[in-house]
Amino acid sequence: MQFSKSLKTGTAVIALGTFGTALAGDVHGQGGQGQGGQQKPSEKDVVALVKGEKDLSILEKALVSAGLRATLLDAQSITLFAPTNEAFEALPEVQLAALLEDKEALKKVLLGHAVGAKLYRNTIMSVTGLRMIDGSTTEISMQDNAWKIEDSVLSAKSLKGANGIVYKIDKVLLPD
């Protein structure tokens, strides 16, 4: 899936290269040096980061079910907005079951949670939207003293790995 190679800050949308390539690398990051007191990247990839978090076990299973585990392992640079177990469990039971059974719908939803570049918090805070891997555009805003992606709160802590960054979110981002 191709996107434009633009990176604009301020009141802009970030749209970055082809998924799985290192077009942007560390967007506003410091190439693994950490920044502003943030943790240094782990040697783990994003799949291992997700697997290592108990509150992301439903996401881990969903990634496997959708056939995206290998895709994420092969990605050279990615940001994943990871719905917690609580976020998945907040969906109506019938909707969650249908989503987990429909591999293509699940794949589309999960790709709507990822950007094909490592995006550090300062970059996320300087834009109004992101172009996700599924082609959708997602709004970023500050509301009620919290950074939000659509209406989902971005966790204060990020998990940094060898090939990407994982931010936990409290809602599943569903396509319109």
Is pLDDT larger for residue 11 or for residue 121?
Answer: 121
What are the tens digits of pLDDT across the range 58-72? Answer: 999 999 999 999 888
- How do 26-27 and 118-119 pair as beta strands? parallel
Token pair of 127 as six digits: 């834009």
Q: Which domains does the chain have, with CATH numbers?
A: 40-169 (2.30.180.10)
The pLDDT > 70 percentage for the chain reads 76
The pLDDT of 159-164, averaged and rounded, is 94
